[in-house]
């Protein structure tokens, strides 16, 4: 999303931080994953790897006081072959690497996400995460807007071949 002027940028930034922009993603994860669920563990900096984040699953985790709240909603899930699950997810007030880290923390890393333990897919050359939809109100008119994006060819081809 981009703004053409400073006022619109400010309005959209407030909406984004306030959770008023509905962001949906398509992802492919390793393993069989059940459908609708909410992942709500807070996220902190990783203690030893600056490239990663740490999901605070344990309520006694000493990083919780500095962790940021994070909530990932898994809206739909369907099996792809016998090794993967395609998931539609929604991130509320997204934190850095939120979806990637939340899914990895529950044992279902994104396909191709070597940083969080996902299966290595040499033909994919990236992790399988795609921002597929934005829903928000127009900053000036308040009209509801819905912007969608199809899977890029590399992800669509990989998905087809994995089925």
The domain spans of the chain are: 22-162
Q: Which long-range contacts does 107-114 make (Cβ < 8 Å, 24+ apart)? A: 107/31, 108/29, 108/30, 108/31, 108/33, 109/29, 109/30, 110/27, 110/28, 110/29, 110/30, 111/28, 111/29, 111/30, 111/84, 111/158
Q: What is the pLDDT of residues 32-91, one digit of tens each?
A: 998 899 999 999 999 999 999 999 999 889 999 999 999 999 999 999 998 999 999 998
Q: What is the pLDDT of residues 19-30, one digit of tens each?
A: 899 999 999 999
Instruction: Give me the pLDDT at residue 115, please.
Output: 93
CATH number of 22-162: 3.30.2350.10
Residue 152 has which token pair?
């890029």
């Amino acid at each position: 999303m981009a703004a053409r002027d400073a006022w619109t940028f400010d309005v959209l930034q407030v909406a984004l931080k306030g959770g008023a922009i509905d962001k949906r993603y398509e992802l492919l994860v390793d393993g069989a994953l059940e459908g609708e669920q909410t992942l709500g563990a807070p996220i902190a900096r990783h203690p030893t790897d600056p490239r990663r984040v740490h999901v605070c699953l344990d309520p006694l985790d000493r990083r919780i006081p500095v962790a940021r709240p994070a909530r990932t909603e898994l809206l739909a899930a369907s099996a792809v072959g016998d090794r993967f699950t395609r998931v539609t997810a929604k991130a509320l007030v997204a934190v850095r690497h939120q979806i990637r880290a939340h899914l990895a923390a529950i044992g279902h890393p994104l396909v191709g996400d070597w940083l969080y333990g996902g299966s290595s897919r040499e033909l994919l050359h990236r992790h399988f995460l795609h921002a597929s939809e934005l829903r928000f109100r127009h900053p000036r008119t308040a009209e509801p807007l819905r912007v969608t994006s199809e899977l890029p060819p590399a992800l669509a081809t990989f998905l087809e071949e994995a089925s």
